[in-house]
C-alpha cells in the first residue's frame, strides 16, 4: 500500500492486486488491533542494528523514509500517535483501522487502482524483464514495473502464504529458507492451564539448555492455555528455537529488582508482621494471586498453614520459586502463531536504495518478503513503510 501510494503520488499509473476481499487484513491485527506503527528511535543506524547481521541493508531506506517521516506521514493524515512503554509508537485511538484508512486514502488520492479478490498465480518473464502477471482467473496484467509485497508465511489465514517466495525463486532469486520467528512458547508443565491469562510485568527470564544459560532478559509476559507469550517471550523465541530440540528450561525471576537475600528479608518481615496468617494470604505483596496456589503446590506447602509454622526449609523452597520459577519448553508453534517470518529474498540480490532486483530489471521487493526480521515493538512495520516507500519511489521513476 505504501509502495503503491508513493508510485501513484509521483505520477505513475498503479494497479494494486490483492487476493483477499479486503486490504490490510494482517495490518488490522497488529499490536493487538492497536497497531504498533514504529519504534521511537531517531538514528537510522541504531534502528538498523536491531535487525542483526542484515540490518545494514536498511540504513539507506531508514535514512530516506525513517521513523520521523513515518510518524509525520500518519499524523499529517489524521492518525494521532502516542509513545508507550519501551518507545513503542501506537495509534492514539488504539485502532489499527485508522492506519489502514490513512493508507487507503493515500492511495485513492494518488489514483491507485485497487483490484481485490485477485490472486496472482504466476509471473511471466520475457528475456530479463517481467512481462505480466497471471491471475487465478486466467486474467493477465501487463505493466512496465512490478513490486512484489506478498509478506512472509506467518499467520497464513491473513493471506500471507509465501507465494512471493516461489515466484522469486522461479525468477532466479535465492530465497533464504523461511522459518517462523517471534512466536509464543509451548510448555510441558501441567500447571500452565491454571495460570492461563496471568500477565507478569517486568520479570526476568533466563533460558537454559542442559543447564547452560544462553539468554536472559527483562520484560512482560503472559501465560496462555498451552504456554507463555508476551513481548519478552516472543523476543526470546528466536534464541530458544536455535536450542531446540533439547532440554530447554526457563527460569522466571518474579522480582528481578531484589536479590535472594532481599527477597528473603521481605518474606521474613511479612511473616513476622502476621505470624498467625495463613501462608496463602501472606504472599500477596510478592506474588500475583493466581500464582500462589501453584507455587504452594510445587513448594509442597499447605496453603492454609500458619506462617509461624513454616519451617526454614519451606521458606527457602518458597524463595527459590520466587526467584527461579522453572518451566520446561515443549516446543514452539509454527507459522500459524509466528508474528514474523525469518528468511526471505537474499538481500545481496536487491539494491538497498531502490529495492530493485539486481537480477530482473523491472522487479522490486518490499516488506516482510525480504530477508529481514526484527524484534517486536514496531520494527517490522517500519521495514514495510521504509522499503515500500523506496520501492514505490524507484518504480515510479
Ligand X SMILES: Cc1cc2nc3c(=O)[nH]c(=O)nc-3n(C[C@H](O)[C@H](O)[C@H](O)COP(=O)(O)OP(=O)(O)OC[C@H]3O[C@@H](n4cnc5c(N)ncnc54)[C@H](O)[C@@H]3O)c2cc1C
**DSSP 8-state class, residue 357:** B
Q: Residue from 160, 181, 342, 386 that binds ligand X (CB under 6 A)?
A: 160
State the nearest-atom distance from the C-beta of 215 to ligand X, in Å: 22
The answer to whether 230 and 222 have CB atoms below 8 angstroms apart is yes
Q: Is 120 in the site for ligand X (CB under 6 A)?
A: yes
State the nearest-atom distance from the C-beta of 383 to ligand X, in Å: 7
Q: Residue from 381, 390, 391, 396 that binds ligand X (CB under 6 A)?
A: 381
State the nearest-atom distance from the C-beta of 8 to ligand X, in Å: 17
State the nearest-atom distance from the C-beta of 246 to ligand X, in Å: 27
Q: Is 27 in the site for ligand X (CB under 6 A)?
A: yes
Site for ligand X in 36-75 (CB under 6 A): 36
Among candidates 384, 382, 359, which has minimal Cα distance to 167? 359
Fill in the per-residue mask, 306 to 325: x = in contact with ligand X (CB under 6 A), - = not in contact.
--------------------
Half-sphere exposure of 107 (CA within 13 A, CB side): 22
State the nearest-atom distance from the C-beta of 330 to ligand X, in Å: 21
Other Cβ atoms within 10 Å of 285 Cβ, number: 9
- Give the SS3 label for residue 178: strand
State the nearest-atom distance from the C-beta of 392 to ligand X, in Å: 12
C-alpha cell at 131: 512481462
Binding window for ligand X (CB under 6 A); candidates: 31-39, 54-62, 73-81, 389-397: 31-39
Binding window for ligand X (CB under 6 A); candidates: 15-23, 66-74, 196-204, 344-352: 15-23
Binding window for ligand X (CB under 6 A); candidates: 28-36, 99-107, 171-179, 342-350: 28-36
What's the CA gap between 222 and 233, in Å, rounded? Answer: 8
Among candidates 37, 287, 337, 377, which has minimal Cα distance to 186? 337
The answer to whether 313 and 245 have CB atoms below 8 angstroms apart is no
Give the nearer residue to ligand X in terms of CB position, either 50 or 251.
50
The answer to whether 311 and 271 have CB atoms below 8 angstroms apart is no
The answer to whether 256 and 205 have CB atoms below 8 angstroms apart is no
Burial of 219 (0-12, 13-18, 19+ CB in 10 A): buried
Binding window for ligand X (CB under 6 A); candidates: 25-33, 208-216, 315-323, 324-332: 25-33
Give the nearer residue to ligand X in terms of CB position, either 106 or 208.
106
**CA-to-CA dists, residue 247 to 106, 197, 237, 324, 331, angstroms:** 50, 25, 15, 17, 10
What's the CA gap between 105 and 112, in Å, rounded? Answer: 10
Q: Is 340 in the site for ligand X (CB under 6 A)?
A: yes
State the nearest-atom distance from the C-beta of 165 to ligand X, in Å: 10
State the nearest-atom distance from the C-beta of 5 to ligand X, in Å: 13
Q: Is 392 in the site for ligand X (CB under 6 A)?
A: no
Q: Is 354 in the site for ligand X (CB under 6 A)?
A: no
Q: Residue from 4, 16, 17, 222 that binds ligand X (CB under 6 A)?
A: 17
What's the CA gap between 182 and 202, in Å, rounded? Answer: 19
Give the nearer residue to ligand X in terms of CB position, either 5 or 367.
367
Fill in the per-residue mask, 361 to 380: x = in contact with ligand X (CB under 6 A), - = not in contact.
------xxx--------xxx
Q: Is 31 in the site for ligand X (CB under 6 A)?
A: yes
Site for ligand X in 212-231 (CB under 6 A): none
Give the nearer residue to ligand X in terms of CB position, either 24 or 296.
24
What's the CA gap between 362 and 373, in Å, rounded? Answer: 25
State the nearest-atom distance from the C-beta of 35 to ligand X, in Å: 6
C-alpha cell at 304: 492454609
- Give the SS3 label for residue 367: helix
What's the CA gap between 159 and 17, in Å, rounded? Answer: 12
What's the CA gap between 36 and 264, in Å, rounded? Answer: 39
Among candidates 28, 241, 26, which has minimal Cα distance to 155? 26
By CB under 6 A, name the binding residues for ligand X. Answer: 17-20, 25-27, 29-31, 35-36, 119-120, 149-151, 154-155, 159-161, 163, 339-340, 367-369, 378-381, 384
Amino acid at each position: 500500500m505504501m509502495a503503491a501510494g508513493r508510485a501513484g503520488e509521483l505520477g505513475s499509473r498503479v494497479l494494486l492486486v490483492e487476493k483477499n476481499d479486503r486490504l490490510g487484513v494482517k495490518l488490522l491485527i497488529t499490536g493487538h488491533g492497536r497497531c504498533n506503527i514504529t519504534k521511537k528511535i531517531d538514528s537510522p543506524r541504531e534502528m538498523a542494528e536491531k535487525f542483526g547481521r542484515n540490518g545494514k541493508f536498511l540504513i539507506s531506506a531508514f535514512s530516506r523514509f525513517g521513523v520521523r517521516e513515518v510518524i509525520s506521514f500518519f499524523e499529517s493524515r489524521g492518525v494521532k500517535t502516542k509513545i508507550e512503554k519501551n518507545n513503542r509508537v501506537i495509534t492514539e485511538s488504539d485502532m489499527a483501522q485508522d492506519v489502514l484508512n490513512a493508507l487507503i486514502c493515500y492511495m485513492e488520492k494518488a489514483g491507485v487502482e485497487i483490484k481485490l479478490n485477485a490472486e496472482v498465480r504466476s509471473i511471466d518473464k520475457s528475456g530479463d524483464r517481467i512481462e505480466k502477471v497471471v491471475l487465478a482467473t486466467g486474467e493477465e496484467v501487463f505493466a512496465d514495473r512490478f513490486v512484489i509485497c506478498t509478506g512472509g508465511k506467518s499467520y497464513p489465514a491473513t493471506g500471507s502464504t509465501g507465494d512471493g517466495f516461489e515466484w522469486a525463486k522461479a525468477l532466479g532469486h535465492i530465497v533464504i529458507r523461511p522459518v517462523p520467528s517471534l512466536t509464543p512458547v509451548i510448555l510441558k508443565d501441567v500447571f500452565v492451564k491454571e495460570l492461563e491469562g496471568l500477565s507478569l510485568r517486568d520479570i526476568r527470564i533466563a533460558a537454559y539448555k542442559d543447564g547452560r544459560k544462553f539468554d536472559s532478559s527483562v520484560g512482560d509476559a503472559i501465560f496462555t492455555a498451552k504456554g507463555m507469550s508476551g513481548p519478552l517471550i516472543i523476543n526470546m523465541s528466536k534464541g530458544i528455537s536455535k536450542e531446540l530440540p533439547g532440554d530447554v528450561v526457563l527460569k522466571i525471576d518474579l522480582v528481578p529488582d531484589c536479590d535472594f537475600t532481599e527477597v528473603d528479608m521481605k518474606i521474613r518481615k511479612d511473616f513476622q508482621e502476621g505470624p498467625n496468617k495463613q501462608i496463602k494470604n501472606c504472599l500477596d505483596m510478592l506474588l500475583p494471586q493466581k500464582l500462589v496456589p501453584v507455587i504452594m503446590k510445587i513448594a509442597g506447602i499447605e496453603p492454609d498453614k500458619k506462617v509461624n509454622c513454616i519451617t526454614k526449609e519451606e521458606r527457602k523452597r518458597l524463595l527459590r520459586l520466587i526467584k527461579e520459577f522453572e518451566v520446561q519448553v515443549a516446543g514452539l508453534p509454527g507459522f500459524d502463531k509466528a508474528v514474523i517470518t525469518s528468511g526471505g529474498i537474499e538481500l545481496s540480490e536487491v539494491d538497498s536504495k531502490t529495492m530493485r532486483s539486481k537480477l530482473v530489471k523491472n522487479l522490486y521487493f518490499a516488506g516482510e518478503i525480504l530477508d529481514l526480521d526484527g524484534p517486536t515493538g514496531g520494527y517490522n512495520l517500519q521495514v514495510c513503510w521504509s522499503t515500500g516507500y523506496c520501492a514505490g519511489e524507484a518504480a515510479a521513476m
